[in-house]
Amino acid sequence: MITSKRMRILEINSEAFGVPTLLLMENAGRSVKDEILKELKDIKDKTVCIFAGHGGKGGDGLVAARHLASEGAKVNVLLLGENKHKDAISNLLAVQNLDYTIYLKAIKDVEELSPLECDILIDAMLGTGFSGKPREPFRTAINVFNRSKGFKVSIDVPSGIDSDTGEAPGEYVIPDIIVTFHELKQGLSKFNNVKVYKIGIPIEAEIYVGPGDVLMNIKKRDMKSKKGAGGRVLVIGGSYTFSGAPALSGLAALRTGADLVYVASPDKTSFTIASYSPDLIAIKLSGDNINPANFEELKPWIDRVNSVVIGPGMGLNPETKEASKLIVNYLKETNKPSVIDADALKSISGYELYPNAVITPHAGEFKIFFNEEPKTDNKERIQQVIEKAKQAKCVVLLKGYFDIISDGVQFKLNKSGNPGMTVGGTGDTLTGIIATLLAQKLTPLDSASIGAFINGLAGSLAYQKYGNHIVPTDLINEIPNVINDPLENFKKRVYDKVLY
């Protein structure tokens, strides 16, 4: 079964991967015709009355109108309001030209609606995005539809039914059959008259993370949002030698939408990090490297944030490795959403973690943590990541030519990156992006997979400008562009990939 949100993600991803939603709508409308023919055998000279709403479902009804007319049916379409859905508009323009076989009537007042006698009645009014009680003109239209005589068909879900819950707090259509698409909608599990048709959504739209995942999971903030609504992130990293890595994680977290980002690093290192940007809040820890004495200093900061990054630039000094273990144990104890990467990951090799943790190894770190080389065969590699995520009880994101992400049950793939991202620091930006998504309460699997997509596509936008000369800060600057318009930017990236 599938939720309305997941279905919308798949539709957008299909568009991104080259299967346009206009084609999906065409397949959906034709499926309605096919099911009607299956039920009634011959529809030549039969009268068809379609109640069409102003969304994608209305567009499905218009496609069905064309196909039914081509079978010799006498088709009447009642338009219940102006349809602004881009694919529905295309189909409306087509139907308007078919005025010999299809009669269109725009309903401007509910008083124009009255019970009909048709051979076939099609409900194309309210779709999977609907919830609550139907408003006019649909409230009246649903009542009229139910009182009309004829074989009744609902497209996707009966109008007035919540596709996720199956509830209907107001008026709803009572059909003879329901023709739904791709998978059974969650709210239709109680119905026994449902027919499911595949409409051409590719398997890749499901297994590859894409623009739909971004658009449907990262929401615009409410006007009444308060400071902190975008999440608070703590980055623990840096050492006497390295200061850039934790700063890159912090800056990427901010560009992803975190409201507050704290970077905790050794005393002298923190001064350097503070000089990079006034946007980062530098926390000064005692010592030249992160050490066990810092644990008590860090606990209050861990407790006050929504997510934690640990590892960038920490180094592998023995006292730092011991501190990593103490901190990770506390993260596990408190079930804190976290991203464990780089040197911290190496310090805790073989650990059993917890479901709110995400680890982001490249091939070398994967071998260190799991004591096993990543498989070279792609399908074996995917299965290996699933098994290792189950073993470690956390989300594993294995970085590579294509990223593999799993929580031990499900898996996702990502291929939004480019060869220029072999430059140092792009893994640090990834951890910051994932941490912000965790802080905004996305699931660890969604945070990791969407984070990989955003990071890769931001890198690809930078690659378009600079080729093999990108630096991590170029990528950070592109993060907002990816989040604001992932679909169009992904299409550009795919086009460039074909060209080169």
Q: Where do runs of H (alpha helix) occur along 440-485? A: 444-466, 472-484
First to last CA, the chain: 39
Domain's final residue, options 207, 239, 266: 207
User: Is residue 321 within 8 Å of 329, Cβ to Cβ?
Assistant: no
DSSP secondary structure letter of residue 48: E
The SS3 call for residue 449 is helix
The whole-angstrom distance between residue 126's C-alpha and the CA centroid of its chain comes to 23
Mark whether 235 and 154 lie in a shared domain.
no
Closest to 302 in 3D by CA, of 355, 264, 251, 357: 264
d(CA 242, CA 425): 12
Query: pLDDT tens digits for the chain (500 residues)?
Result: 999 999 999 999 999 999 999 999 999 999 999 999 999 999 999 999 999 999 999 999 999 999 999 999 999 999 999 888 999 999 999 999 999 999 999 999 999 999 999 999 999 999 998 999 999 999 999 999 999 999 999 999 999 999 999 999 999 999 999 999 999 999 999 999 999 999 999 999 999 999 999 999 998 877 777 777 789 999 999 998 889 999 999 999 999 999 999 999 999 999 999 999 999 999 999 999 999 999 999 999 999 999 999 999 999 999 999 999 999 999 999 999 999 999 999 999 999 999 999 999 999 999 999 999 999 999 999 999 999 999 999 999 999 989 999 999 999 999 998 888 889 899 999 999 999 999 999 999 999 999 999 999 999 999 999 998 999 999 999 999 999 999 999 988 765 554 43
Mark whether 253 and 108 lie in a shared domain.
no
Mark whether 66 and 154 lie in a shared domain.
yes
The SS3 call for residue 333 is helix
The sign of the torsion formed by the CA atoms of 171, 177, 181, 185 equals: positive
Per the omega criterion (within 30 degrees of 0), is the bond before 337 cis? no
H or E stretch at 392: helix 378-392
**Torsion angle defined by CA atoms of residues 446, 448, 450 and 453, in that order, rounded to the nearest 10 degrees:** -150
Listed in sequence order, the residues at least 6 apart from 166 whose beta carbon sits closer than 8 Å to its beta carbon are 186, 187, 188, 189, 190, 191
Count of Cβ atoms closer than 10 Å to residue 209 Cβ: 27
Domain with 490 in it: what CATH number?
3.40.1190.20
d(CA 55, CA 276): 48
Mark whether 176 and 239 lie in a shared domain.
no
Strand spans (E) along 267-349: 281-285, 307-310, 338-340
Mark whether 109 and 156 lie in a shared domain.
yes
The SS3 call for residue 243 is coil
Q: Which residues pair with residue 234 across a beta bridge? A: 262, 308
340, burial (CB in 10 Å: exposed 0-12, middle 13-18, buried 19+)? buried
Residue ranges for the known binding site for (6S)-NADPHX are: 127-133, 156, 245, 313, 362, 428
Domain with 154 in it: what CATH number?
3.40.50.10260
Domain's final residue, options 173, 207, 241: 207
182: left (phi over 0), alpha (psi -120 to 50) or beta: left
User: Is residue 17 within 8 Å of 207, Cβ to Cβ?
Assistant: no
Mark whether 461 and 355 lie in a shared domain.
yes
Q: Which residues pair with residue 104 across a beta bridge? A: 77
Mark whether 300 and 448 lie in a shared domain.
yes
Residue 391 belongs to what domain range?
211-220+228-499
Mark whether 102 and 152 lie in a shared domain.
yes
Count: domains in the chain: 2
Strand spans (E) along 91-173: 102-106, 117-124, 149-155
Residue ranges for the known binding site are: 123, 127-133, 156, 159, 245, 313, 362, 427-428
Mark whether 159 and 200 lie in a shared domain.
yes
235, burial (CB in 10 Å: exposed 0-12, middle 13-18, buried 19+)? buried
Mark whether 369 and 237 lie in a shared domain.
yes
Residue ranges for the known binding site for K(+) are: 123, 159
Structure-block tokens of residue 204: 């890749």
Per-residue pLDDT, 497: 52
The whole-angstrom distance between residue 272's C-alpha and the CA centroid of its chain comes to 37
> What's the predicted TM-score (pTM) here?
0.93
d(CA 443, CA 437): 8
With vertex at residue 466, the alpha carbon angle to CA 460 and CA 472, rounded to the nearest 5 degrees, is 65
Residue ranges for the known binding site for AMP are: 427
d(CA 71, CA 41): 11
Mark whether 49 and 164 lie in a shared domain.
yes
Mark whether 415 and 281 lie in a shared domain.
yes
